Amino acid sequence: MDSADSTTLKTALQVQGRLLHQHEEQLSAINQGVQSLNVRQDNLQATVSTEINLLAEKMREVLTHLVANPGVPAAQFSGPAGVGSADIPVQVPVHSPTIRLASPEKFSGESGNCRPFLVQCDLHFKHQPAAFPTDQAKIAFIVSHLTGRAEAWATAEWSRNSPVCQSVRLFLETMSKIFDLTPALVNIKQRQRRVMDYAIEFRTLAAESGWNSAALFDAFLHGLSDPIKDQLAPLQLPEDVDSLIAMAIRVDQRLAEREREKGRNTGSTPPCRQELPREYYAWQRNSQSSSPERPAPPIATEEPMQLGRARLTPEECQRRLREQRCFYCGQQGHVSAACSVKDRAHQREGGRW
């Protein structure tokens, strides 16, 4: 054997030796891992055994307590094998059959009686408790079945996260308070009363209603008598209900004053219509008729009435009524029935109107 073959053989043996050494190391590591797993398994078995013993001890204590305090419910189940032969009582939930309820009819608030609607909602809450676990779920169900005025109120309360929408009890109380007063507030009328008396009763109901200003404005205007509505017709109405009430009271006072004037002047002054309708309707006839108005008699000297006693524009009528000015001369402090300028003009005209 030459030296080259000897070297090749030696190299191969060295490689095989290294591989055997690596295999020995791997086998040693595997052996150590198996031993470690055996130790961990022994520990786990000991732990499980300890836990089982503790659980069995607890079960025996429970059974001893149940025997000492007997209370046998309707349903029972047997304990686990090896723990004890006594029966452990447990409460079995009883499921009532679900009934189908009709959906509540939409409530608008116009009827003025929300009790039937709320009773229908309460039936859903009591017979389907799983569907309404929270107060807000119940409130959302109610709001989804509202329309019209009631929907507008509930939407506003919900949008601003009102405390009313945090408690179903408070929500129902508030809703009943508002919409059960609707008939009284909607049906209240002035009739033959003075506006002041009508306004007092209206404010009393309005304070308890919870309505917003726009709804109160419409309700008050709707309840006014026809003569007051006629006086307000040509005027620019204010935007809030308080100003509307004040304006209606002023108009009513002017009408009452005019009636007293007519009573004092009976027999000396030709009868005429109430102050504002005379000017307004004369202007209305003048603007709507295609035939020319008969010219007013000439005046000897220039008086304020030359502005057009029967030709006041609606804006001028509004301004004079608002500022409590005379419809004849435009001055404050009196009405046209007691206007000295008009009296002098009538004397010059021979008493003609």
CB neighbour burial string for 154-182, b if at least 16 within 10 angstroms, e if fewer: beebbeeeeebbeebeebbebbeebbebb
- One-letter amino acid for residue 267 of the chain: G
Query: Over 60: is that where the pLDDT of 125 sits?
Result: yes
pLDDT category, 353, cuts 50, 70, 90? Answer: very low
Residue 183 and residue 147 in contact, taking contact as beta carbons nearer than 8 Å: no
pLDDT category, 247, cuts 50, 70, 90? Answer: very high
What kind and span of H or E run contains 78? strand 76-78
Q: What is the pLDDT of residue 200?
A: 93
Q: What percent of the chain has pLDDT over 90?
A: 26
Residue 254 within a domain: no
Residue 130 within a domain: yes
Residue 208 within a domain: no
- Point out which residues pair with 107 in neighbouring strands: 146
Convert the pLDDT of each residue in 207-245 to its tens digit. 877 778 888 998 999 999 999 999 999 889 998 999 999
Residue 281 within a domain: no
Three-state DSSP at 87 gives strand
Convert the pLDDT of each residue in 275-310 to its tens digit. 444 444 444 444 444 444 444 444 333 344 434 444
Q: How many structural domains comprise the chain?
A: 1
Residue 333 within a domain: no
Paired tokens of 282: 């004369």
Residue 290 CB contacts under 8 Å (≥ 6 apart), including other chains: none
CA 268 to chain centre: 60
Residue 176 within a domain: yes
Query: Over 50: is that where the pLDDT of 55 sits?
Result: yes
Domain holding 133, by residue range, is 115-180
Residue 110 within a domain: no
Average the pLDDT over 333-347 and give the result.
70
